[in-house]
A and B are shown apart, each in its own frame.
Chain A
Amino acid sequence: MSGLAIDMTGISKAFGPVKALVDADLRVARGTIHGLVGQNGAGKSTIIKVLAGILKPDSGRITINGTRVESLTPASVERLGVHFIHQERLLVPTATVAEAVFLNYELRFGPFLRPGAMKRRAEELIRTHFGLELPGDTLVRDLTTAQQKIVQITRALAQEAKVLVLDEPTAALVKREVDSLFAVLRNLRAQGIAVIFISHYMQEIEDLCDEVTVMRNGTDVGVVRPGETSIDEIVSMMIARDVGEMFPRRSHALGAPVLRVEGLSQAGHFRNVSFEVRAGEVLGITGLLGSGVKELVECLFGLEQPDAGSVTIDGEVRRFANPGRAVQGRMALVPEDRRAHGVATDMSVRDNITIASLDRYMTRGFVSRARENEAVDGFIRELSIKTPHRDQLVRNLSGGNQQKVALAKWLSCQSRVYVLDEPTVAVDVGAKVEIYTLLNRLAAEGAAILFLSSDLLEIAGFCDRALVVYRGTLNGEFAGETLDSDLLLAAASGARAQRKEA
């Protein structure tokens, strides 16, 4: 089969007793866009790491562009024309755009670099492929997430990639950027380049891919053509379960208002924001980047200070000078950047869960190990956190389970108000449902939940009510019939004028 760019056959890989890949196949034809889907833990990232030369397979055969390869290293894979756009933005923060694009393939004159030529060439590539003016001497750390993604792809294009592997490339992009990325990928396909596209967004898979390999439990359970197979079918292949229960329902009655925000303003970010969240309620809130919604959340939790307005919890006016005060005020924040702010990956499950509530486990001024362990074991059971024991480092847990640990930290505080900032990003479908179920239970127990997400389907499907922030002000409240992703999008993008619903 000479038309195959990538032919991986019978790949197996075990980590100790855990079989990450069992006789898995992945075949990608030249000039096609090939989707790779599966839940976290299904083996997607393992098979990609094998292809990238990062992991050595225990058995199996790999052929790249018709050449049988025995042992792969990251360097040899790149020489074969296979390039990876990693989910983590693997770029040197102190490098310039031009340096990041040409690292290890520098343009040079004799032994010397040609900084000017690299800058011009990088800018030109970005202009032709993305229609974007990005100065080549900008430092990577000053770029937005989307721009960093663009730099990564440009790097591969600069080296005339034959196979391009993109791992969740759209997770941080806005619609317009996604569209231009897809245009670039289709253009590359027309040039005969094979693209492997990994995404949790099924709509994108359907829109873009010619073929899709579905993985489950470490092996491929089918290769399908999106035109012939529906999204629902693909998803049920992935999870072998009915998808109807993605957003579990709540049936409890709402109680008195717990969190009341009145006239909250912060210069340059948001102004005169008022809303309340009742006991048992899940209030969704969304907005584009720069809309001020992030700053609003930061002000609520004491990370930033508002200029005006008040925050009331259970009838008591609170002003949080720092997160410590917010925690004392029984407010909880599950932050967006889990690794930087949510869980300390080098600490154990137990230490992460109890770090914000140590005074609850004190006996005569000392932390009581016994009480702490008992509580932690309880949370591990209740939240079904998949960990061999409470002393396991959080680093070794999957994304979904790490997020559950981040939530358990606040359960241990017995918080009243839960502010969740993008809690299901980079969490697989199964763990998502578990997190929704857990939030429902918290709500049923009387907690007030403020749910910030940029996934509008999630807001529409999961929340009781939703607010949209547009350019620093509330642009509509949605509930019942009007709680619809299209209406939310219209309000978030300002396409729909201020109009109060419900």
Chain B
Amino acid sequence: MSLSLSRHLPKDRESFSTLAVLVAFVGLFLVFATQADAFLTLGNLRNVLVNNVVLLAIVALGVTFVVSSGGIDLSVGVSVDMASLVFVSALAAGVAAPLGLAAGLGAALLVGLLNAILIARLKISPFLATLGVLFIGQSVQRLATGGGQPIYLVTKDYAEIFNAISRSSLLGVPTPVWVLILCVLATWLALHRMGFGRQVQAIGARPGVAWYSGIRVPSRLTQVYILAAVLAGITGILLSATVRSYVPMSGNAFLLDAIGATFIGTTISRERRPSILGTLLGVALLAMVKNGLLLIGWNFYWQQVGIGVLVFAVLALSFGLQRRH
């Protein structure tokens, strides 16, 4: 629950375990702020937000729903890629931008629909279903691109469209950030304030109870996997606009981070339940650490080690404290 933070201020060690991520976040923020001069500049924070946080966060929001429903989605990367592939191909074929955009999101939706059919109708375990879709998605991309050739749209004709998506701003806030804000608001309401979210969480807690309580489990699961895919599709569009191209298999980069962020986010709830706030915190933590380690001069390899150790430490703190209550 998103409010568990304010409801349960730390009275004991168990409650403290819910704050492990927050403490780590604040602590590391201070470390980076003092150790790296460039860290606390407006330009850097803006860069982290627009380039690291937004893309990952939108994917992770979708994963949050899937994990809430008791499942997992290994194919979010495919949704990112398919949206990007169709969007960029449509533009290259001279299709109008809004239409191309819709087609891109539609492609992601189809990936979600495929997952939904496999999971909600054919009752395949989410792990296997989405793993299968991931394999198929990779094949489709290789076939569509002659083995993985990127599609670049660097000519001036496209700059306007791409800039409108990724470089414009409204009221001083970059458009991608607006997109994120809208997504966060919508998903927060859906998960924490609407019947939909409560029902999804009930399915995650105990599918049998949900079914016996009159919840239409298959259609809820269908909505969840489609939602996750479409959110990932939004990231796919933003990503294509940012890099002005489609790069095959680039969506996979988000997969493990999005799952990681979601599960890191569960540690802020006593019931270890995914929440929008928790996921955002997880995303922010991962993005900040990547950026901070870079700025204090760690090379790419050590950054990876650092992130792993950090995530490990946060989890150990959170789970370890809860366990010894």
Contact flag (A, B; Cβ within 8 A):
yes
* Chain B positions within 8 Å of A103 at CB level: none
B213 touches A327 (CB 8 A): yes
Chain B nearest CB: distance from A347 CB in Å?
Answer: 5
Please report the C-alpha to C-alpha distance between residue A352 and residue B211 in the assembled complex, in whole angstroms: 13
Chain B nearest CB: distance from A357 CB in Å?
Answer: 9
343-371 of chain A: CB within 8 A of chain B: 343-348, 351-352, 354-356, 358-359, 362, 365-367
* Chain A positions within 8 Å of B199 at CB level: 355, 358
A366 touches B271 (CB 8 A): no
204-255 of chain B: CB within 8 A of chain A: 205-206, 208-216
Is B201 engaged at the interface, CB distance under 8 Å to the other chain?
Answer: yes
Is A324 engaged at the interface, CB distance under 8 Å to the other chain?
Answer: yes
B214 touches A326 (CB 8 A): yes
Q: A344-B202, A351-B201, A393-B271 are in contact. Are A333 and B195 (CB under 8 A)?
A: no
A333 touches B205 (CB 8 A): no
A366 touches B214 (CB 8 A): no
Partner of A359, one of B195, B205, B212, B213: B195
B198 touches A358 (CB 8 A): yes
Is B193 engaged at the interface, CB distance under 8 Å to the other chain?
Answer: yes
Partner of A333, one of B193, B208, B212, B271: B212
Q: A355-B198, A355-B199, A366-B189 are in contact. Are A340 and B213 (CB under 8 A)?
A: no
Please report the C-alpha to C-alpha distance between residue A341 and residue B215 in the assembled complex, in whole angstroms: 12
Contact with B along A310-352 (1 / 0, CB 8 A): 0000000000001111111000010101001111111110011
B208 touches A346 (CB 8 A): no
Please report the C-alpha to C-alpha distance between residue A391 and residue B212 in the assembled complex, in whole angstroms: 22
Number of chain A interface residues as a range? 35 or more
Is B309 engaged at the interface, CB distance under 8 Å to the other chain?
Answer: no
Chain A nearest CB: distance from B24 CB in Å?
Answer: 26
* Chain B positions within 8 Å of A341 at CB level: 208-209, 211-212
Chain B nearest CB: distance from A376 CB in Å?
Answer: 13
Is A216 engaged at the interface, CB distance under 8 Å to the other chain?
Answer: no
Chain A nearest CB: distance from B170 CB in Å?
Answer: 27
Please report the C-alpha to C-alpha distance between residue A422 and residue B7 in the assembled complex, in whole angstroms: 37
Is B45 engaged at the interface, CB distance under 8 Å to the other chain?
Answer: no
* Chain A positions within 8 Å of B201 at CB level: 347, 351
Is B194 engaged at the interface, CB distance under 8 Å to the other chain?
Answer: yes
* Chain A positions within 8 Å of B193 at CB level: 366-367
By DSSP majority rule, is chain B's interface helix, strand, loop, or mixed?
Answer: helix
Contact with A along B30-44 (1 / 0, CB 8 A): 000000000000000
Contact with B along A377-396 (1 / 0, CB 8 A): 00000000000000101000
Interface centre among B194, B208, B213, B216 (most CB of A within 10 A): B213
B206 touches A345 (CB 8 A): yes
Partner of B206, one of A344, A362, A365, A366: A344
Q: A351-B201, A359-B195, A366-B193 are in contact. Are A346 and B212 (CB under 8 A)?
A: no
B209 touches A340 (CB 8 A): yes
Chain A nearest CB: distance from B130 CB in Å?
Answer: 23
Is A409 engaged at the interface, CB distance under 8 Å to the other chain?
Answer: yes
Please report the C-alpha to C-alpha distance between residue A148 and residue B265 in the assembled complex, in whole angstroms: 40
A351 touches B202 (CB 8 A): yes
A323 touches B212 (CB 8 A): yes
Chain B nearest CB: distance from A392 CB in Å?
Answer: 11
Contact with A along B161-198 (1 / 0, CB 8 A): 00000000000000000000000000001000111001
Interface centre among A356, A359, A365 (most CB of B within 10 A): A356
A322 touches B195 (CB 8 A): no
A342 touches B215 (CB 8 A): no
Interface centre among B7, B195, B199, B201 (most CB of A within 10 A): B195
* Chain B positions within 8 Å of A365 at CB level: 194
B213 touches A323 (CB 8 A): yes
Chain A nearest CB: distance from B121 CB in Å?
Answer: 14
Partner of A342, one of B202, B209, B216: B209
Partner of B198, one of A325, A326, A345, A367: A367
Chain A nearest CB: distance from B136 CB in Å?
Answer: 30
A346 touches B195 (CB 8 A): no
* Chain B positions within 8 Å of A352 at CB level: 209
B214 touches A327 (CB 8 A): yes
Interface centre among A328, A341, A344, A348 (most CB of B within 10 A): A344
Q: A341-B208, A342-B209, A362-B195 are in contact. Are A324 and B202 (CB under 8 A)?
A: no
Q: A340-B208, A366-B194, A367-B195 are in contact. Are A346 and B271 (CB under 8 A)?
A: yes
Chain B nearest CB: distance from A325 CB in Å?
Answer: 8
* Chain A positions within 8 Å of B7 at CB level: 391
Chain B nearest CB: distance from A362 CB in Å?
Answer: 7
Please report the C-alpha to C-alpha distance between residue A252 and residue B214 in the assembled complex, in whole angstroms: 31
The residue on A at minimum CB distance from B205 is A344
The residue on A at minimum CB distance from B192 is A367
Chain A nearest CB: distance from B322 CB in Å?
Answer: 13
* Chain A positions within 8 Å of B206 at CB level: 340, 343-347
* Chain B positions within 8 Å of A345 at CB level: 205-206
Partner of B216, one of A322, A335, A356, A358: A322
Please report the C-alpha to C-alpha distance between residue A322 and residue B214 in the assembled complex, in whole angstroms: 8
Chain B nearest CB: distance from A93 CB in Å?
Answer: 16
Please report the C-alpha to C-alpha distance between residue A344 and residue B208 in the assembled complex, in whole angstroms: 9
Please report the C-alpha to C-alpha distance between residue A328 and residue B213 in the assembled complex, in whole angstroms: 11
* Chain B positions within 8 Å of A355 at CB level: 198-199, 202, 209-210, 213, 215
Chain B nearest CB: distance from A355 CB in Å?
Answer: 5
Contact with B along A142-186 (1 / 0, CB 8 A): 000000000000000000000000000000000000000000000
Contact with B along A275-315 (1 / 0, CB 8 A): 00000000000000000000000000101000000000000
Please report the C-alpha to C-alpha distance between residue A323 and residue B210 in the assembled complex, in whole angstroms: 10
Q: A324-B214, A341-B212 are in contact. Are A367 and B205 (CB under 8 A)?
A: no
Interface centre among B194, B195, B214 (most CB of A within 10 A): B214
B212 touches A367 (CB 8 A): no
Interface centre among B199, B205, B209 (most CB of A within 10 A): B209
Q: A345-B206, A367-B194 are in contact. Are A323 and B214 (CB under 8 A)?
A: yes
* Chain A positions within 8 Å of B210 at CB level: 344, 355
* Chain A positions within 8 Å of B215 at CB level: 324, 355-356
Chain B nearest CB: distance from A351 CB in Å?
Answer: 7
Please report the C-alpha to C-alpha distance between residue A331 and residue B24 in the assembled complex, in whole angstroms: 50
Report the 9 A-B pairs with minimum CB-CB distance, sorted nearest first.
Answer: A327-B214, A344-B206, A358-B195, A344-B205, A356-B213, A341-B212, A324-B214, A344-B209, A340-B208
Give residues in B with beta carbon < 8 Å to A. 7, 189, 193-195, 198-199, 201-202, 205-206, 208-216, 271
Q: Can you list 7 A-B pairs with a CB-CB distance of less than 8 A?
A: A324-B214, A325-B214, A340-B206, A347-B205, A347-B206, A366-B193, A366-B194
Besides the known contacts A344-B205, A347-B271, 10 further A-B residue pairs in the complex with CB atoms under 8 A apart: A344-B206, A344-B210, A346-B271, A347-B202, A351-B198, A351-B202, A354-B198, A355-B215, A367-B194, A367-B198
